[in-house]
Amino acid sequence: MKVGIIGSGLVGATSAYAIMMRKAASDIVLIDANEMRAVAEAQDIMHAVPFAAATDIYPGTYEDLHDARVVVISAGASQKPGETRLMLMEKNAAIMRDIITKTVAVNPDVIFLVATNPVDIITHICMHVATDLGIPKSWVIGSGTTLDTARFRSLLGRHLGVDPQHVHAYVVGEHGDSEVLCWSNVDIGGVPLDDFIAFRNIPFGQDVKNNMDDGVRNAAYKIIEGKGSTYYGVAGAIAKLVEVINRDNRAVLTVSVFHEEVEGVRNVTLSLPHLIGGQGDLGMLPMRLNVREKQLLKRSAEIIRSKIEEYENRK
């Protein structure tokens, strides 16, 4: 199956590489306003194909998306000196509107995966643009906290001495400072965390939890401080989502999608566990959260909603 990636910067190009290495698509087309960048990235990735999986990777235009099942959006403007966050949001909203309109014009049966930050707000904007063009809400999916959830599981796995793929834990809410680590329903291979650490005699005090919370919540800041940007982790998340959709794997992932209501907050786009398959978002799964986690999720939803209203009031 063909995947289109719009935006051939570090996130877009690394996503293409991760998709190829994961054998998640047969064709990958890179589209960028800077055509030379798309050409160079496609050629560079193609040179790795003989060491991985047979994948056709090439630069293209929107016309090449006519038979794509998934289109990844990783394009977006960077904030310039003197430019406010709201000004940047308006600029990126215009970019998203242009991308989705041009894509739907050649392919009305495409699922959009949004990776551009702030991903919850951008996904909310993309959903409205896409639905106005006849695309179902369930076909607009943000990468959300899939990466944050992976960070949480990797830290838990390292501390517990368990393969992270057997650690079940979720980060929900905003992909950002107000995200919520759901400690109350962590399990390892079906065994509740408290039972696992007691049986294995593993120290796990509040200090451990605090360090993990910091490691998840502030990971991006620390990576950006060290090397300027993050891209490997989100590329892995995008590749996983592409694979799940293309193969109809029906996996449970914490993606950012539109919700009519979350903890009393209406019309908000954020991350919760959803079943994802060949038809995109197949619906939210129920979560048992304790009182504190529900309060934190509500606060996260309120923060996102306030940012959406700030943007909407300027339109």
- The catalytic residue positions are 175
- Contact in structure between 101 and 133 (CB atoms under 8 Å): yes
The bridge status of strand 27-31 relative to strand 2-6 is parallel
Neighbours of 92 (CB within 10 A): 22
Q: Give CA–CA dist 28/253, Å, rounded.
A: 23
Question: In sequence order, which residues have a C-beta less than 8 Å from that of residue 297 and are 6 or more positions away?
Answer: 172, 173, 180, 262, 263, 289
Q: Give CA–CA dist 48/44, Å, rounded.
A: 7
Angle at the Cα of 247 (from 43 to 182), degrees rounded to 5? 100
What does the block give as tokens for 194?
């408290």
Q: Give CA–CA dist 14/150, Å, rounded.
A: 17
The bridge status of strand 167-168 relative to strand 140-142 is unpaired
Enumerate the H helices of the chain as residue ranges. 10-21, 35-46, 85-106, 119-132, 146-160, 193-200, 206-217, 219-227, 232-246, 291-312
Q: Give CA–CA dist 272/265, Å, rounded.
A: 14
Q: Give CA–CA dist 295/255, Å, rounded.
A: 20
Per-residue burial over 158-196, b = 16 or more CB atoms within 10 Å of its CB, e = otherwise: ebbebebeebbbbbbbbbbebbbbbbebbebeeeebeeb
